[in-house]
Every structure is written in structure tokens, then in C-alpha cells.
Chain A
Amino acid sequence: MSNPPRVTQLLAAVREGEEGSFDRLFEVVYEDLKLRAHYQLSASSPTLNTTGLLHEAYLKLAGAETPDWSDGQHFFRVAARAMRQIVIDRARRHLSQKRGGGRAAVDLDAVQVGADAVADRMVALDQALSRLSEQDPRLAEVVELRFFGGLSVDETAKTLGISARTVKRDWRLARAFLQGHLG
């Protein structure tokens, strides 16, 4: 984990488009969010509050009292990406453990349960989202921010510097695209 000043600097670097700064910020935010998710989930009645996580992480890492959207913009983009990575990492790990080691086949018509089914669907979503990103990066980011980052339409609009109406339109096309790929 890093000290707040470093994140502020990184944010400034991202804002100025310095090379590699997005990746460095991503690393910091990824670790921080992973830890925070850990705590939320380790409570006696585990919950996962993505929106809360992101805002908390922002306040803490960027050392800001209220989100300044010029920095928040970059931060939430990074954070939503990190959240996506955390969930997908977990899903892949689940799947790779499941399928490890030359074991006998599983019954083909047993219903996939709970974590299995979710892990499969998450990995599929991740792949579909990557394809969407090749086609139209902004649509993919709208999904990342809203689904993985838990941001509202307005927050998403501010973060991407587009209108709320555009976010809604993007969302609808992205959703249809993903549905088609996941179907």
C-alpha cells in the first residue's frame, strides 16, 4: 500500500498522460481495493458494497475530502478497472482450481452451482467486455464504471465527461452487445 501523496502524484501524472502512470496507479488501487473487499467480506455478515469501497478508497488514497472530479475522473476509471480485475482473478482462480490436475471428468449434466456458475459467467463477461472494448472502448468503460465500479449514471457521465443521456444510450448498446456474446 502506498501513502496518499504518491497517489496524488500518480493522479497528476495520469492527468498529464505520463506514460505508464495508469498502470502504476492501477497497482496501488488494486491492492487497496482488494484489502478493503477483504474486510467487508470478513465481517460476520459479509456484504460487498462496491460503490462504498470505491469512494472510501478514493478519499483515503487521494487524501481528498470530497471527490474532485478532475482527479476523480481518473481515479474511478482506474478503480473500476481494478474491481473488475479483482473479481475476475477470483473467478479464474476458482475455475483453475476446479479443473486442476488430470482428474476424472465431472458429471456433464449436473447443474452448475453457486460460485461455479458465477465464476464461469464472470470470466465470460470479462472476455465479452474485452471484445466490446476492441470495438468501442467507451462502451466498455461505461460497463466497467457502472457494473464493476457501481457508479450511477450521473457519476459515470461526469467521470467520462459525456452527458447522462449518452451514458444511457451507450449502456443499452453495450448491454445488447454483451447479451449477444454471452448468450
Chain B
Amino acid sequence: MSESGDKPFSTDRWKQVEALFHRALDLPKGDLDVFLERECGDDEELRDLLERLVLADTLEDALVDHSLEELALPLLTLPGPAHSPPVLDPGTSVGRYRLIEVLGTGGMGTVYRAERADGAFDRQVALKVVHTTRLGDEAARRLRQERQILARLDHPGIATLLDGGLTEDGLPYFAMELVEGASLTDFAAKRNLSTQARIRLMIQVAEAVDFAHRNLIVHRDLKPSNILVTDAGVVKLLDFGIARLLDEEADDAVTRTGLALLTPEYAAPEQIRGDAITTAADVYALGAVLYELLSGRRPFGHVARGWRGLERVLKEEPPPLSQAEGLDRSDRRALEGDLTTITAKALQRDPRRRYGSARALSDDLTRFLEGRPVTARPDSLMYRASKFVRRNRVASGLAAAAVAAVLLGGAGTLWQAREARLEAQRAQAVGDFLFSLFDGADPDLHPGEPVTANELLEAGLARVDSLRAGPEVRAALLTTLGVLFGKLGQDERAEPLLRQAVDESMSSLGERHPTTGRALDALGTRLGLTGDPEEGVALLKRALATRRATGATLMEIGTTQGNLAKALENAGSLDEAIVTYQAAIETLEEATGGDSLAFASELMGLAQAYEDNERFEEADPLMRAVLRIRQPHGDSPPHATALHNLGHLMSAWRDDSDSAVALHSASLDMWRRMFPDGHPEISRSMEQIARIVELRGEWDRADSLYAEAIAHWSDLYGDVHPYLAAIQANQANLRYRRGELAQAAEAYGEIVRIYRAAGEIGALAVSVHNLGVINREMGNYERADSLIRDGLALRRSYLEEPHSTIALSLNSLAGLNNLQGRWSEAEDLARQALGQYEEVLPEGHSSTHGARLELGVALAGQGRWAEARPLLEVVHEAYGEMLNPADALRGRTGLWLGVVNLGEGEASVGRDLIEAALPVLEGALPDDAPEVVRARRELARMNP
């Protein structure tokens, strides 16, 4: 079926194939040749096809023989979730803590009472070990960063997060302030609290939640067991932000929606659907908790779990509070009216119809206690009227912003009037200064050469100190210079200048000053993009507060929000970034209308944050909106980037490779029009298209696109840039997969040269290793040996052993020695590889099987059957489940397990194994490969 299979046969011919195939299956073994001879005559094509089909029919273990359930599971879920959480013994150390006793277990994990193992503090803590998610290094690093942000959430109603990290088994843990208390509902029940007293508790809860929201942190898993009340009646919320942390760190889209962790009884519909989670989800949960606290029932009873229950949450309103099940008449009467209206408003299915904030809910509860009218109305006229206006969240946020502007307008306007004059003076001063820089560009100093922007800025910088200017102008100048250096990519010049600007502005003008706001924004933005995004986030939050307090324009506020969102994204706080982008978009839409380019930029920011969070459905319309806005403005880099981004979305999410290629091509054309002399993005677009068509199996087209991308890039930057090597590696790997070994080797020769010149040791080690592997496939064992050894030496020069990539090099060497029959060298190398793998990888990891295979082969080669057998049997079974039946590794394992069986006198088992292995080996390896030869020889010996 090889090449001929690419074109369908005519219907008649296929009918013929079909009929002959079924007849061939009924033949006694051995009669096939005669049958084919008779039926096909000299129709080679037909004969060939039938032979292949009949052979394929006998192969066991086709992909479609397995159930989709087992096959697709690893694809759709996280690898290796811990099923039953093991409880750790008292005395066990976790990070800096020693466990004392179990306080409780829940869906997410187990909570222990613990103390500092080093006795640094004698305060006991609650230590929660989470069993549902296992994290890798990168995720753990981000977790640490996030944790620091959470740790700053300092409020009496929120249990402080003290510490966190990973246990030795890679499970996340969090140390929190230990709260001695009962859950909200237990507390109320035990003390038989009045409705009034319950509402007072709820107000405390809502206020704490509101505090967190104002710090842009959403709880996402509010429920009575996360809300403790101390004996003194003080509410403490547990686990703030942790659901999000874990959720976000999970590697997989399915768990990332939050479904893995949420408690369905209190989860908002949008949370169940996996939509964007905002503060409104917490408002819903507060409503659910309030409902339970007042009526003793959960809004959807106890059946919110399972598909049926979830469906109810998505589609139905809960019964009104006063009609909750099991209430007697006097209860009902007590809950009728305002309390029913308030809970109903918090529990609206549509987030836009809920209270706008936790504060608004607590305010309404307070009004109720004080006997004042509440704001919630059963399906109020205002809602119905506004429903048509507020078509989406952006719009409704805008309305809120407008209201706020009216309320706060007085103060802001006064500020602005006074500031406007100062601002004008300052702008004049900065402008004068910048113009003066051009005067300093003395052509005599640079005869015949244009002055670079960089030189200009350096000259300006030299002049700032001699300038007699007030602190305000000085700080503004430093900020401007810092921003400009940053735009030129001179981070190392930009950052100190911006820090100086912030310091000087702070000390002479104070935090609440527009110039300080601008400096904070500039430094925060820079750090948010490069360097330390976490510090950037902190600075931008300050900048935002200052800008708001000093009457900055909506445009400025929106821009700072956008910068904050980007920094949050880079700091790994995706959810918070999304909320912040939304805020920026609302502000900018208000400031500039819904079709400005500034608005479009933040819209794209939000779209990309959605994409990173795998919320593709939400990213898609935003990107299209960006394109609509940019369309009339013609070609521009952001426009081309927007096309590129939507193209990526189309290939990554929709698998609409035609649209993706079309979009990338449009982007490519635009870059070409804008930069006829060449631009790096031209190469990047071509590489993108190449990767998409490669995945589609259009290998020739992919190959030539890679070649074009490579040519363009080397025209621009010469032939030493690491990105060039990366495209070349893509091309080389494609050629390797196509069996074009010589071309692949040639390309890798170039790649090695580039990485060596660039001093990128990690990439160099991989490339040298790969060049070795390609040489091994070509049968150049000596060259392969020395290259793989070079790769190993490189890895040892910068990695610490044990390390999985060092083990990989060792194992590849072992394999090479096995191929050459140098069994004892191979044995030694394979043992080293296996040892290192076992130290760093989980049991049963596919790489450990790779080392077991080489060790097994080395032992079998020496005739040590009994030692080889258990190793090879384990690998045989594991590969049977893990690998494509046609994978050479499966063939090799089958061959050697067969050899072991023959050695131990199990002739028929051995023969079956080798007979099955031979076609696999023949398909995957060159005809004269040692293992193909070996398999044929073994079979020939048995069937003389």
C-alpha cells in the first residue's frame, strides 16, 4: 500500500481486492502463493497489495484492537494521578516542618497539624498535602512564586499562607496559619445561632472575600468546610487561591478547567462549564453558602454531583430560599422577602446578574440587618431595561466604571485641574530636553555616519545630571530615557535608570504623585517583560493605585492595567492576568471607544492569555475582533502578529490547517510588504507554515519551506544564529523521519557548528548526540561512538549526575556496543544508565525500559539467559502497551526475548517471538542491520 495507497483504486478494482482478500483469508496456510499466482497473474500491483493486506491481517495488536478508552486516557488525563491519598506518619518531615497529627482529609488532600522541624518558631501550623496533582520542576518554581503573592494576602479573616513547596514525592504542600475552630455551618448549628447572628458571620466572610478580590485573588473553592469560625466568633477563610494555584499548574487542559478540584455543590455554572472564572464565581459560592447557612439545605440539595446534578446547576435556578426543602412554615416566613431575594441574586446563573462584588453582597446583608431597603430586586425593571444595553461583561463593567466615575468625579476633577498646569510644564521640559539631544548629535563626532538612537540616548543621559531641573522633571526624564533604552532592547541600561527614576520620584514627590505613578509603571512594565515579573507585578499594582489616586486619565489607567496583566501573565498568574486584561479592556473601551488600536492591543493580550489557558473558544472571537479593528489601518507589525496568532490558534485548537496556513501566509505577505529587505518574522512565519504542513504529512512542501526560512534567516543574520539552528533541526528531524539520513547528518553538522559558536551547551549536546544517532542508523558505528561520547562529555560538563539525559547518552552507547557485539562493555554502560534512570525517574518510566532492554540484550549476548529473561519480559510487556507495533524497539525486544527462549530450550516460544519480530525489524531498519541479520539467522537455523 505504500505509495500506491495514496490514490484510491477505482470502485471495480477495489471490489476485486475486497473479494480476493476475503477468499485469501479462508485459504489453508501455505496456499496463498498459489492462490495469488492464479488470481493476479502478472498484475503486480494487485498481488503486492493483497500480500500486504493478508500479512497485515495476521499481525496482532493493531491499534484499533485496543479500546479507545485505554488508549486515549493518557492523552486526556494527567499521567499518574495519585488515587488513594497515602496518609503520612506523625514525625515525617515535609519541607521545614514535622507532622504531628492528621487534622482531616478532604477531596484535595490531607491536612496535618505540624511544627517547624528546626524549632525556628514554636507556632504550630496547618499543613496541607495535596494528592490530586503531581508537579514537575517548572510548575514547582511557579508555585513558589505564586505562593509569595498569596502570602501577602494579609487580612484577619483569611488564614495566612506561610509556606509551601513540594514533598519528596512531588506533591504540593501548603503551610497555613493553624486555625482552631469549627466550620461555618457546624458553628452555627452547635450554637443554635439566630438568623441575625448567621448573617453577621456571613458579612465577615464576604468582607474577607472582598479584600482578596481587591487584591485580584479569587478563591474558587469557597464552601463551609473552608470557612472556619473560632470560639471567639471570628471567621477565617482557608485555602485562599490554592485551588487556582493547583489548577493552573496542572499540565492538562481537562484538569485545568477547575473541574478536578471544585466542589460541585458550591460551584458556579460558569465554573462547571470550564469558562473563565472571575470574582463572580466566588459571589455565587457565597450565595450557596448563605443559602445553606440560612435554610440548612444546599441550593440544589445534595445531588449537585454527577452529570444530572451538574446539569441542574447549569440549567435551572435553585428553589427560592424560602421554599427550600424541609422548612416549616415559620422558617419559611422568616426567610421570605429580602433574604430570599438576596440569595437569589447571588445565585444567578448568569454572572452578570449577580452582585457585582462580594462587598455589594455584604452591604445588602448589612442593610437587611439594619432594616433598610436592600438593592436586590426580584427581576427588577432596571435589570430588564439594562439587559439590552449590557450585551456582555465588558459593557457591564463599563457601566460600573461610568457610575464610579460620576461618584468619584468630584475629587478627581479637582486634582486634574491642578495637575493639568504642572503636567503641561513638565511635558514642555521633557520635550525640550529630548529635542536638545538632537542638537548634541554633532556630525563632526561621527563623520559620514548617521547617529544611532543609542548614541543619542547615551548623550542625553550624560546630560541629565548637568541639567538644572526640578525633581519632577528629572524623574520624568529618567523615566523617558529608561523607557527608550528598553525599547532599543538595552535592558541592562533601562532597568537601573528606571529604578533611579522611581527612587528619586518617591523620595522627592512621594508615592501618590503622577510622576511616581508613571515611573512605577515604566519600571514595573520593564521588569514584567524581562527580569523579575513578580516584582513587576508588585510595582504595577502600586502604579495603578497611584494613578487612580492622582486622577490619571482612563487611557493611562487602562494602559497600566494592560501592563499589569502582561506582567501577571509572565509571572505565571494566568487567571489574575485574565481578570486584569478584562479590566484594562473595559477601561480602554471607555477611554477610546471599542475600535482603537490601544484597545485592540489589550484585547490581543487577553486572547493570548485565554489561549495559554486553553480557553480557545474565548480566544477565537477576541482575535477576530482584533483583526477587524486593525483591518482598516492597513499593514503594521501588530496586525501581522494578530494574523499569526489567529493562525496558531487555528492549527493548535481547531486543527483547521487550511485556515491556519492561509492566515500565516497572509501574515507572511504583510511582513514581506513591510520589510522588503527581510525581517526575522518572515522566517518565523515560514517555519510555522512548514510545521503545519509537516504535521499534515506534506513532507516535500515542509522541507522546502524550512529551506526557505533557513535561507532568509541566514541572509539577514549570517549563519551563526541559534534560531537558525532550531529551524535546521526541524528540517533535519523531518529528513531523519523520512529516512534521508545523509541529508539529516549534513544538516546536523551545520547545527552543531552554530551551537558551538553560540556557546549553547545544552543544545550543542543534543545536536552532537543526534548526529551520533544518525550515524548509528547509517551504520557508521565508530563515528557514532565518538559523537555520542562527545555528547556525553558535554552533558557531564554542565549537568549533575544522576541525570536522565546523561543516562540517555550512556544507554545509547550501550546500544551501540550491543550492535557491535561488545557485550560486556554494553552491559557496563547499560547498568550505569539504568542506575541513573532509576534514581531520577518514576518506576515504569519508558526510559528505564530503554535501559533494561540494552542490559537484557547485553546479557543475552553473553548467554546469561536467566539474568536477561526477567528484564526483557518486563520490557516486552511494557512496549507492547506503549509503542506502535511497527516500532523498531518492539522488534528488538521480541528478537532478544526469542533468543533467550531458544537459549533456554523453549524452541517454539522463541521461534514465534522471532518470527513476529522479523518483519518489524525489516520494516524499521536497514536490510543489513545486525539485528535483522541475527533474526534471519536464528530462524534459518531452526527451519533448515
Contact status of A41 and B77, CB under 8 A, knowing A56-B307, A175-B62, A182-B886: yes
B732, A183: Cβ atoms under 8 Å? no
Contact status of A115 and B805, CB under 8 A, knowing A102-B727, A105-B732, A105-B767: no
CB-contacts of A27-47 with B (<8 A) = 35-39, 41-42, 44-47
Partner-contacting stretch, out of A5-13, A14-22, A82-90? A82-90
A180, B808: Cβ atoms under 8 Å? no
User: Which chain B positions have C-beta within 8 A of A148?
Assistant: 68
User: Which chain B positions have C-beta within 8 A of A41?
Assistant: 76-77, 254
Sorted nearest first, the 6 A-B pairs with minimum C-beta distance are: A105-B729, A179-B56, A42-B259, A104-B763, A102-B726, A176-B56
A136 interface contact, C-beta 8 A: yes
A87, B75: Cβ atoms under 8 Å? yes
B846 interface contact, C-beta 8 A: yes
Contact status of A173 and B18, CB under 8 A, knowing A46-B81, A113-B882, A123-B695: yes
Binding site for A on B (CB under 8 A): 1, 5-6, 8-9, 14, 18, 21-22, 25, 52-54, 56-57, 59, 62-65, 67-69, 71-77, 79, 81, 83, 107, 132, 253-255, 257, 259-260, 273-274, 307, 310, 651-655, 684, 687, 691, 695, 697, 723, 725-727, 729-730, 732-733, 736, 751, 755, 760, 762-763, 766-767, 769-770, 773-774, 805, 808, 812, 815, 845-847, 849-850, 882-886, 889, 923
A147→B62 CA distance, assembly (Å):
12
B69, A49: Cβ atoms under 8 Å? yes
A172, B57: Cβ atoms under 8 Å? yes
A83-103 vs B, CB cutoff 8 Å, 1 = contact: the mask equals: 100011111111111011011
Task: List 11 A-B pairs, Cβ < 8 Å.
Answer: A37-B76, A42-B259, A46-B77, A50-B68, A87-B75, A104-B755, A107-B808, A111-B889, A118-B71, A118-B72, A173-B22
B695, A92: Cβ atoms under 8 Å? yes
* B83 vs chain A, min Cβ distance (A): 6
A158-183 vs B, CB cutoff 8 Å, 1 = contact: the mask equals: 00000000000100111111111111
User: Which chain B positions have C-beta within 8 A of A90?
Assistant: 72, 75-76, 253
* A88 vs chain B, min Cβ distance (A): 7
A180, B72: Cβ atoms under 8 Å? no
Contact status of A176 and B54, CB under 8 A, knowing A38-B254, A95-B695, A135-B14: yes
B69, A107: Cβ atoms under 8 Å? no
* A171 vs chain B, min Cβ distance (A): 8
A66 interface contact, C-beta 8 A: no
B769, A107: Cβ atoms under 8 Å? yes
Q: How many A-B pairs with Cβ below 8 Å? A: 221
Q: For residue A104, which residue of chain B has the nearest CB? A: B763
B76, A104: Cβ atoms under 8 Å? no
B847, A111: Cβ atoms under 8 Å? yes
Contact status of A147 and B882, CB under 8 A, knowing A176-B53, A180-B53: no
User: Which chain B positions have C-beta within 8 A of A100?
Assistant: 652
CB-contacts of A123-180 with B (<8 A) = 123, 125, 127, 131, 134-136, 143, 146-148, 150, 169, 172-180
B845, A178: Cβ atoms under 8 Å? no
B69, A105: Cβ atoms under 8 Å? no
User: Which chain A positions have C-beta within 8 A of B67?
Assistant: 50, 150
User: Which chain B positions have C-beta within 8 A of A93?
Assistant: 253, 652-653, 655
B254, A177: Cβ atoms under 8 Å? no
A135, B9: Cβ atoms under 8 Å? yes
Contact status of A150 and B882, CB under 8 A, knowing A46-B81, A104-B762, A176-B56: no
A177, B53: Cβ atoms under 8 Å? yes
A183→B923 CA distance, assembly (Å):
8
User: Which chain B positions have C-beta within 8 A of A103?
Assistant: 726
Contacting residue for A169 out of B22, B72, B107, B697, CB 8 A? B22
User: Which chain A positions have C-beta within 8 A of B259?
Assistant: 38-39, 42
Contacting residue for B723 out of A102, A110, A122, A181, CB 8 A? A102
